[in-house]
Amino acid sequence: MSASVVFIGGISSVFFGMGLLYLSIKITAMITARLTGKRKENLS
């Protein structure tokens, strides 16, 4: 494996990984909104 491949692949994968984290936060927020939304409906 050449160093430049690791270099380019590495940097892009880190951003990919962080994108993943971003996605999990967004999904978490979505699920939470869904859950709390449901609960409010039940109450009313």
Shortest reach from residue 42's CB to other proteins, in Å: 15
Q: Is 38 in the site for other proteins (CB under 8 A)?
A: no
Q: Which residues of 20-38 are buried (b: 16+ CB within 10 A; e: fewer)?
A: eeeeeeeeeeeeeeeeeee
3-state secondary structure of 44: coil
Of 31 and 42, the one with the shorter C-beta distance to other proteins is: 31
Q: Is 18 in the site for other proteins (CB under 8 A)?
A: yes
Task: Kindly list the residues in this chain that would bind other proteins in the complex (CB under 8 A).
Answer: 1, 3-7, 9-11, 13-15, 17-18, 20-29, 31-32, 35-36
